[in-house]
Chain A
Amino acid sequence: MSDTGSESDEATERTALMDGHIAEARPDREIAERIARKKKTKSDTQRTYGVSNTNSVEQNDGGGSSGPSRPGPSGPNPPQPTEPQIEELELKYGARHVIKLFVPVTLCMLVVVATISTVSFYSVKDVYLAYTPFHEESPHAVTKVWNALANSMILLCVIALMTVLLIVLYKKRCYKIIHGWLILSSLMLLFLFSYLYIEEALRAYNIPMDYITLGFVMWNFGVMGMIVIHWKGPLRLQQAYLIFIAALMALVFIKYLPEWTTWAVLAVISIWDLVAVLTPKGPLRILVETAQERNEPIFPALIYSSTVMYCLVGTTTTGEGTAGEGRAAARPASGADGDGGFDAAWAARRDAGRDPGRDSGRDPGRDSGRDPGRDSGRDPGRDSGREARRLRVDGTQPANYTTRVERVAPPPPPPPDMEEEKGVKLGLGDFIFYSVLVGKASSYGDWNTTLACFVAILIGLCLTLLLLAILKKALPALPISITFGLIFYFATRGVVKPFADALAAEQVFI
């Protein structure tokens, strides 16, 4: 049933924390430019004296020669001056992106915690899912433990089965079925679960509302959600909807899983995440690699992205490849020339490189059917734009080395082009399980435990992103955070809570 569909959908995609080298391929060249400018002050002044001096400039420059300043870089650059910059700009992917994930994760947790504390419906256990046949009704701890483990194993098998099914469908390119499945599950989340949520919230706050208003509100809410998640829409709105449906799923988990099962499921899912993403034959790794080979984004509606993802390179044509390089090379040129140059080069790039259909510039371009049209529309513009850009590319030393960095990227798939800002992506399943942990911790009423789990999860996310910045491949986002969260949950609940309560009761401040 679609309940299965929705939760396993989220579950299958949750681990695709796949900023990886898709984003790294265009590693913040403006910032690289800034470093380059700061470091090579002498060559900077020489460089700004104009296009004509490029030959001498490049020979004077220690890092200089990507040969004669032709835009397409020939010959290998001497790696010494460029290597440290490449090292630097790989670490540059950093603090800003961590915050871009902190904020939505925090918001999702806030929604879940707020709901759990005010709407008692989600803390009441009356009905259970079919996947958890053991209801932990025995008073003995041992029985509860094996109940919990059995339930979590059943859930894990269901999730694994659904993941494998999804991978098979994806590999066989049955996109219509996958899209249909996703649309069905997000329909269910946006209409049915949201209706239940609003009904319980109205009941908890004792607010009367007639069905007509409710129907109107729900219809608009649901349809807007479907449009924004599966098609185009303002970025913030899409992010808000994704956060909300992640929170809804987390609430469903908190309500319908028995107590100890929830914790067992969290532990088991993080181990599954680790296995599925990191082992060579893991299903999620296969998914990520297949998507990268085909240069397609992973399914919409299951990934939270902090910037708009333009997958211009929907098809892998060689024209795209050079355009990608040309486009990428133009950007450092623009950066190095300062703001004035930036505008011109940016305008040139925009004319040439943008899809005319993407006027608002918002479409992540997920529909593969749309790509051919976009490519053809772009080709004529691209050539003229590239010529316009060629002049820029000549004049700047860093452009050469950064174009070389582009070359270094794996040749077959030209890296999908991204917007100005490199964004970071987190699977919705990660949101869901983080919120399940914090929501469950808050359902026991102790706010110290909730806070401790919250901080632990954020620190785990920080560490995961740090690892991502260093290792630059798809990483599971669940294990570190959930481990920290679980450790701190049990430690705080068992040991810290009594101490803190004793201190607060006596008003002793440490």
Chain B
Amino acid sequence: MTFAEFFSCSLLAFGPPLVMFAMTIANDPVRIIIMIAAAFGWLLSFLLSSLVWFAVVPLRTYLVFGMVFAIIFQELFRYGMYVLLRKTEAGLKEISENHEIGSNKLEMAYVSGLGFGAMSGAFALVNVLADSVGPGTLGLHNGTEYFFVTSAAMTLCMILLNTFWSVIFFSGLDDKYYPKIVWVVGSHFFVSGLSLLNRNELYAATIIPSYIVLIVTAYLAYRSAGGTGRSFLQSFSSRIE
């Protein structure tokens, strides 16, 4: 039973990102490298925010404090990735054999967003998954039986949100259209703030609004990348890949 829980939660959280990786990133070496670089960037931001949390000893039990700094550092590093990618665009063309690598400006935004999201999701969920295999599970004596599923669902939400946030963020910086940046930072604070309610097991109040924000953000990212309703329908009809 625990194995079933392990597999279902891991596939729920990491299935879509894995498919996105396999279909869009795995066959292009430069994208893989960018994705790992973005994962490293997220790791650095998380390290810094942990340092802040660790340093301020009395506020350790109030995760809000750590969370605020975590979000700030993550957005700073997202901006850092933007600067890095824009500056090294020429260099990427050099080392890549795919000469259209810089053609879609938001391609790198997508890849780096997926890298950010994957690392964020992995750090959030992988220890939980390792515990879910073990003997015993939550909900029998203490805790709620929905713990693992809701963690996995929120992780998926965060991974996809990070991907879309990067696209919107980069597009906003490129066009100097700052409401997009405000949306990214604002919705990040909103979703993370909502997740603070998870300790009271109000899962409906946290997951449903988070997914609504995910859908809106997905739509915004799609529009930023130049998608229209017609191109959306066309993507279903034709088989050109």
Give the contacting residue for A88; candidates B32, B53, B94, B151; CB below 8 A: B94
Residues on A with C-beta less than 8 A from B85 are none
Known contacts A92-B95, A496-B46; A510 and B71 CB within 8 A of each other: yes
A25-46 contact mask (Cβ, 8 Å, vs B): 1 or 0? 0000001000000000000000
B43 touches A452 (CB 8 A): yes
**A462 in contact (CB, < 8 A):** yes
Residues on B with C-beta less than 8 A from A93 are 95
A102 touches B32 (CB 8 A): yes
Known contacts A96-B29, A507-B199, A510-B71; A500 and B94 CB within 8 A of each other: no
B22-58 contact mask (Cβ, 8 Å, vs A): 1 or 0? 0000000110110011011001001101110110000
B126 touches A508 (CB 8 A): no
Q: Give the complex CA separation of A96 and B31 in angstroms.
A: 11
**B166 in contact (CB, < 8 A):** no
**A509 in contact (CB, < 8 A):** yes
**B20 in contact (CB, < 8 A):** no
Task: Report B100-151 residues with CB < 8 Å from chain A CB.
Answer: 119-120, 122-128, 130, 147, 150-151
CB distance from B12 to the nearest CB of A (A): 15
CB distance from B52 to the nearest CB of A (A): 9
Give the contacting residue for A446; candidates B127, B147, B195; CB below 8 A: B127
Give the contacting residue for A99; candidates B32, B91, B192; CB below 8 A: B32
**B240 in contact (CB, < 8 A):** no
**A343 in contact (CB, < 8 A):** no
Known contacts A446-B127, A504-B128; A98 and B29 CB within 8 A of each other: yes
A509 touches B40 (CB 8 A): no
B177-202 contact mask (Cβ, 8 Å, vs A): 1 or 0? 00000000000000110011011000
Q: Give the complex CA separation of A448 and B54 in angstroms.
A: 17
Residues on A with C-beta less than 8 A from B36 are 102, 455, 458-459, 462
Residues on A with C-beta less than 8 A from B120 are 510
**A397 in contact (CB, < 8 A):** no
Known contacts A499-B66, A510-B67; A451 and B126 CB within 8 A of each other: yes
A462 touches B33 (CB 8 A): yes
B123 touches A500 (CB 8 A): yes
CB distance from A423 to the nearest CB of B (A): 14
Known contacts A102-B32, A447-B126, A501-B127; A509 and B195 CB within 8 A of each other: yes
Chain B interface: which of A172-180, A228-236, A487-495?
Answer: A487-495
**B174 in contact (CB, < 8 A):** no
Residues on B with C-beta less than 8 A from A452 are 43
Q: How big is the A interface, by class?
A: 35 or more
Give the contacting residue for A504; candidates B53, B94, B151, B191; CB below 8 A: B151
B127 touches A448 (CB 8 A): yes
Residues on A with C-beta less than 8 A from B66 are 499, 502-503
**A412 in contact (CB, < 8 A):** no
Residues on A with C-beta less than 8 A from B125 are 504
A496 touches B50 (CB 8 A): yes
CB distance from A101 to the nearest CB of B (A): 11
Task: Report A442-457 residues with CB < 8 Å from chain B CB.
Answer: 445-448, 451-452, 455-456
Q: Give the complex CA separation of A451 and B46 in angstroms.
A: 13
Give the contacting residue for B95; candidates A95, A445, A456, A506; CB below 8 A: A95
Give the contacting residue for A447; candidates B50, B97, B127; CB below 8 A: B127
Q: Give the complex CA separation of A462 and B38 in angstroms.
A: 13
Task: Sample 13 A-B pairs with CB under 8 A, ordered by A number.
Answer: A88-B94, A96-B29, A96-B97, A458-B36, A499-B49, A503-B124, A506-B63, A506-B198, A506-B199, A507-B147, A508-B192, A509-B195, A510-B124
